[in-house]
Amino acid sequence: MEAADIARLIDERLGAGTASVYEDLEPQVAIAPERLVEACLYLRDAQELRFDYMRCLTGLDLPPDAMAVVIHLVSTVLKHRLILRVETSRERPSVPSVEGVWPGAGWFEREVFDLLGVDFPGNRDLRRILLPDEWIGHPLRKDYRESRAFFNIPTRRAESIRVVHGSVPPAEEG
Amino acid sequence: MDRSILQRFDLTGGEMLLNMGPQHPSTHGVINFVIQADGEVMQKAVPEVGYLHRGMEKIAEGMTWAGFMPFTDRIDYLGAMFANQGYAMAVERLLGVEVPRRAEHLRVLACELNRIASHLIGLGSMALDLGASTPFTHAIREREAINDLTEELCGARLTYNYARVGGVSHDIPSGFDARVKRFLDRFLPFVDEFDRLITRNEIFVKRSASVAVITAAEAIAHGLAGPNLRASGVDWDLRRDEPYSVYPEMEFDVPLGRGERGVVGDCYDRFVVRVEEMRQSARIVRQALGGLPAGDIQAKVPRKIKPAPGSCYAAVESARGEMGFYVVSDGGPEPYRVKIRCGSFTAMTIIEHKSPGLMIADLVALFASLDVVAPEVDR
């Protein structure tokens, strides 16, 4: 089933304007954040869709004012795939959690929260997962600047290493 | 400051709170389990990861498309070929490059050898964790032979950096096919011996059968992948169900957990499925080698890779299940975003769910049977 067909099915079920096709190399189905959980439950449970397996959930920083969460789904029963796209504001990025639909999504959401700062209301354990609790900022944001030090440990060398491409330093005489 | 993980526990009943890790022989790398236990029985085990986070996805954004390839080796150090191939496939799809058939055969050959090597470590260390130390030495001896082969193939024993965007780095050296065949001839009897040594060992069976049973529904809901998913009886293998490379031309079976000594989806099934997968991989290696076509090993790819703006997802069936790369290009010489999806990451998510009521010693069995590689979780 193509992305356009699935977007049409979601619209039929949840009202026109819920889903639209986002053209890309692999077309995605864009969904409004406030209808995401309903749409996911429908995608998982409908007999003709059966998207039971969430293979990947990730975030994208799209400055100046948007962020996107991209969810890759597949059906182990019907063997077709789908990519969902949820756009949110960059000021206060927030996307409802789909942990209740696919329990495995919980950790993926924690990672997006950790690295991009997207809030996932409904996630029952939204803490940093890869970085330490004390970390400041969200590294995968395009405007991220690394702190000069972490617990007084400098994060940069005093002198930067200069890499010279394609040349070998001359051997010393003697 | 209190660790945020402590918010997850309520110890008003006088239960013990234990750290298993981050340095612990059976956590295979640096992973911590915070365990709330009443005696030997766990009420909850919450994994704490991130100790090996190297910011791979951030690093990718600061280098060229081709330059990221050696970093993919370090995602899963027991299965670097899969990461190489997955990343190469993702970039090739962005570029619309067709890979020469000889290169595809070589990738399949290398990946399946790598799968055997990875499963040998997984199986050997699971036996080791459950108290049998000899099988590990046997397994690692055989793996050593594979390391020798990959060293001949690409110069590296662990971090192969073998795939290139549009091909592979080296063709096979002369006499390589004969040496691979000699290895395979010896390897299949070895697997039978391994079965006698440990798979059918009554103590091992008692220790792992019917322990930490993961049902098919749980496995799917938590996104378990690869052998862990198939051990729960879910017939899903990307090599067959989402065909890539030259796998459609290969003949192989997809072994499933049958619950032969306990219940479908127990630790024993996860072990047996991997043993059987090694036999199937050996079959594929033979076919990939036998049908090796002549021709180039590298497609024509621009020297400076600059894919048109867009995104795509490519996944391979790694030794630890689905390894996917979601790559986004903004048209520039550097990736805009690279997301790496790994089997170990999702395998970790099921541990907290399965832990209540499990013995602490059985957490070791569950964790070993999931064959988690810590750097793959943290990337």
- pLDDT at res. B1: 47
Residue B100, pLDDT above cutoff 50: yes
Q: For residue B215, how many other CB atoms are within 10 A of its CB?
A: 14
Beta strands in A26-91 (DSSP E): 28-31, 53-62, 66-74, 81-89
B58-94 confidence digits (pLDDT tens): 999 989 999 999 999 999 889 899 999 999 999 999 9
- pLDDT at res. A94: 92
Confidence of residue B283 (pLDDT cuts 50, 70, 90): very high
Residue A173, pLDDT above cutoff 60: no
Measured between CA atoms, the residue of chain A closest to residue B378 is: A130
Cβ-based contacts of B234 with chain A (< 8 Å) = 76
- pLDDT at res. A7: 84
Cβ-based contacts of A127 with chain B (< 8 Å) = 4-5, 7
- pLDDT at res. A161: 67
Subunit contact A102:B223, Cβ cutoff 8 A = yes
ipTM score of complex: 0.89
Which of these CATH numbers, 3.40.50.720, 3.40.640.10, 2.60.260.40, 3.30.460.80, describes A3-154?
3.30.460.80
Subunit contact A103:B222, Cβ cutoff 8 A = yes
- Nearest CB among A24, A83, A125 relative to B310 is that of A24
Residue A19, pLDDT above cutoff 50: yes
For chain B, domain boundaries: 56-341
Q: What percent of chain A has pLDDT over 70?
A: 91
Cβ-based contacts of A129 with chain B (< 8 Å) = 49-50
- pLDDT at res. A166: 63
CA distance B59 to B338: 9
Structure tokens at B224: 């378990």
For chain A, domain boundaries: 3-154
* Interval B44-51 mean pLDDT: 90
Count how many pairs of residues, chain A against chain B, have C-beta atoms within 8 Å: 98
Asked if residues A72 and A57 have their Cβ atoms less than 8 Å apart, the reply is yes
Q: Which residues contact B180 (CB under 8 A, 6 or more apart)?
A: B109, B113, B149, B285, B289
CA distance A81 to B153: 35
Subunit contact A125:B8, Cβ cutoff 8 A = yes
Confidence of residue A169 (pLDDT cuts 50, 70, 90): low
| Statement: the pTM of the whole predicted model exceeds 0.80 | yes
B165-187 confidence digits (pLDDT tens): 999 999 999 899 999 999 999 99
Subunit contact B310:A25, Cβ cutoff 8 A = yes
CA distance A135 to B7: 18
* Interval B187-211 mean pLDDT: 90
Which of these CATH numbers, 3.30.70.920, 1.10.4190.10, 2.120.10.60, 1.10.645.10, describes B56-341?
1.10.645.10
A23-68 confidence digits (pLDDT tens): 888 889 999 888 899 899 999 998 888 999 999 999 999 998 899 9
